[in-house]
Amino acid sequence: MIIIYHNNGTVTRILDSEKNEELEVDRLSSISRVLLHVAEIYPNSIIVWCQEANAQYINLKYIATQFNNRYTMISFSEQNYMSDRIGYIEESPFLKINKSVKFPSWLMSSMCGAIHSQSILCFEKTLKGSEGFAYHLNAIAKLGMPLGLFCYSDPNLLFETASNKEEEGIRDTALFKFVKQHYKGIWVYLLFLNIALHEKRVLLRPLFLSLFSKKQAMELHFNQQKIISQSTIHIITEHNNYDVVIPTLGRVKYLYDVLEDLSKQTVLPTNVIIIEQDDREGAVSELQYLKTESWPFLIQHQFITQTGACNARNIALKEVKSPYVFLADDDIRFSSEVMERSIQFMRTNKYDAITLSCKRENEIDSLNTAIQWPAFGSGCSIIKTAVLKNIRFNTAFEHGFGEDSDFGAQLRRQGVDVVYFPKGRLIHLKAPIGGFRTPFQHVWNKEEIQPKPSPTVLLYQLLNNTSEQLNGYKLILFIKYYRLQHTKNPYLYFRKFKKQWAVSMHWATVLKAKYVQL
């Protein structure tokens, strides 16, 4: 492990931690170029950077345990280098960081962090830029994360901190340049507009200068094949016990096919927990085959008269006993090795939650490598049961939108990363039968002015996003919705939109107060 100590933008010393000796490496260049130079000299090492003020607090033993593979990047600081304004143009869950846990995020810090040499070498062009060290670290993470670089904010890097001070927070000019380099061109204008609307500042010069910056994304050919995995974890081959949770309503045949696929798995589930819903008067279970046919696993079946997938899944989660739980839809199909392959992937890499590829039969998955997933699939995910102790589906989202994304956000706040596993392939049939037998009537359906967006969509924003993300979402919705509604007079449309937003905010606030996340 090679440690680069720095102070005020200057490298102070470079230490080989194993030999406990300082290295005679050129320290006069920028920190970014020194980082690249050290990676070239020591191509099979973990490279650590740390401010001198925190040198005695760095947890090297912990850092060494975080590199089961070479495509990992971790850092920590209580204060972000990147401006909160980035939320105006990015809706991902990677911005509102819980600083008390290891949290997936591309927001990197120059205070303390680590990355493998092989990962650094993939970003040679980025590190040779004229921007500062913290800028380059954020650029690496922003470029690499969608391609398989696993990035985290991790407070465990330091036993304690003598200083939380970054080199310097990002300046307006650098922020606009970063957006121009790492997002689609339109976003730099939306950033400008959001700042003007919400902060009453007109940043014409940063906007103008950013227009001369070239986009960097996807020019690096960074992938997990180039950065070879070096797993140091012993692969456990013993039986991988798991339970399956399936809420269902009116999909008798499709559910039968799901059970058939489960019965053919190379590693069988221990329990399959089925929550059947039907709110019709006098309704009885339609799933007679659960009793008339023999299944190679225990089936726990409950018939309830309350509809709603959030409630149904929560009832089922109380019954889970195995180390892993597969949250499944009732209209999916999959091959016999999917569960064994997926749980083995989790064990090997110490992942606590994964979402499997769940596409239509003829739909091609554009991803071929595991990445940190900004979403969560409530019907196609596997989770380690131990991490679900204080997590449930928030019933405020019942019969609406956002419960799966909110569940993923709850996991991340607990320090659980959600990883997309494309090799765990499911086929989603999107069965026409099922869902609600009659349209569900929300309390806000009686409002004279109908809410826009749906209150449950706004509830997700209030619970899980920053204020900048909420304002950015509002502007995007305002622009997109204009061409979809009948009022074409801009002034009248603006008045109408404000009223609809206010109604949505009212009911989202009511939902937030009424339901408490466990």
Residue type, 42: Y
Residues 298 and 410 in one domain: yes
Q: At 410, which helix (H) or strand (E)?
A: helix 403-413
Tokens describing residue 321:
């006993």
Beta carbons within 10 angstroms of residue 484's beta carbon:
6
Whether 495 is covered by a domain: the verdict is yes
Residue type, 453: P
Residues 390 and 480 in one domain: no
Domain stop point among 153, 175, 197: 175
Report the alpha-carbon distance of residue 138 to residue 113 in Å, rounded.
Answer: 12
How is 237-261 classified by DSSP, letter by letter? -S---EEEEEEESS-HHHHHHHHHH
Q: Residue 223 carries which DSSP code? A: -
Residues 324 and 458 in one domain: no
SS3 content of the chain, % helix, strand, coil (to 5): 40, 20, 45
Half-sphere exposure of 272 (CA within 13 A, CB side): 24
Per-residue pLDDT of the chain (518 residues; tens, 9 = 90+): 999 999 988 999 999 988 889 998 887 789 999 999 999 999 999 999 999 999 999 999 999 999 988 899 999 999 999 999 999 999 999 999 999 999 999 999 999 999 999 999 999 888 988 899 999 999 999 999 999 999 999 999 999 876 655 557 899 999 999 999 999 999 999 999 999 999 999 999 999 999 998 887 544 445 444 443 334 334 444 447 999 999 999 999 999 999 999 999 999 999 999 999 998 888 999 999 999 999 999 999 999 999 999 999 999 999 999 999 999 999 999 999 999 999 999 999 999 999 999 999 889 888 889 999 999 999 999 999 999 999 999 999 999 989 999 999 999 999 999 999 999 999 999 887 655 556 678 899 999 999 999 999 999 999 999 999 999 999 999 999 998 888 889 999 999 999 999 999 999 999 999 875 44
Whether 505 is covered by a domain: the verdict is yes
Residue 286, CA distances (Å) to 301, 315, 366 in order: 12, 19, 38
Domain stop point among 175, 194, 223: 175
Whether 265 is covered by a domain: the verdict is yes
Half-sphere exposure of 177 (CA within 13 A, CB side): 17
Whether 494 is covered by a domain: the verdict is yes
Report the alpha-carbon distance of residue 518 to residue 47 in Å, rounded.
Answer: 39
36: helix, coil or strand?
A: helix
Residues 25 and 116 in one domain: yes
Residues 19 and 100 in one domain: yes
Whether 87 is covered by a domain: the verdict is yes
Whether 200 is covered by a domain: the verdict is no
CB 221 within 8 A of CB 398: no
438 Cβ contact list (under 8 Å, min separation 6): none
Count of structural domains within the chain: 3
Beta carbons within 10 angstroms of residue 470's beta carbon:
16
404 Cβ contact list (under 8 Å, min separation 6): 375, 376, 377, 378, 379
Report the alpha-carbon distance of residue 427 to residue 404 in Å, rounded.
Answer: 19
CB 280 within 8 A of CB 212: no
411: helix, coil or strand?
A: helix
Query: Per DSSP, which regions of 129-182 are E strands?
Result: 150-153
What is the CATH number for 159? 3.90.550
Would you call the peptide bond into 296 cis, given omega within 30 degrees of 0 as the criterion?
no
Half-sphere exposure of 186 (CA within 13 A, CB side): 3
Report the alpha-carbon distance of residue 330 to residue 262 in Å, rounded.
Answer: 12
Residues 58 and 161 in one domain: yes
Report the alpha-carbon distance of residue 131 to residue 423 in Å, rounded.
Answer: 38
Residues 420 and 455 in one domain: no
Residues 476 and 337 in one domain: no
What is the CATH number for 367? 3.90.550.10
Residues 83 and 139 in one domain: yes
Q: Residue 337 carries which DSSP code? A: T
Tokens describing residue 83:
């401006």
Whether 412 is covered by a domain: the verdict is yes
Please tell me the predicted confidence (pLDDT) of residue 236: 44
Residues 123 and 100 in one domain: yes
First CA to last CA across the chain, in angstroms? 41
CA 8 vs. chain centroid, Å, equals 33
Token look-up 């096919």 returns: 257
Residues 77 and 18 in one domain: yes
CB 62 within 8 A of CB 157: yes
Whether 221 is covered by a domain: the verdict is no
Please tell me the predicted confidence (pLDDT) of residue 162: 66
Would you call the peptide bond into 206 cis, given omega within 30 degrees of 0 as the criterion?
no
Residues 320 and 396 in one domain: yes
Range of the domain at 352: 242-428
pTM of the model: 0.92
Beta carbons within 10 angstroms of residue 327's beta carbon:
24
Domain stop point among 175, 193, 210: 175
Please tell me the predicted confidence (pLDDT) of residue 337: 96
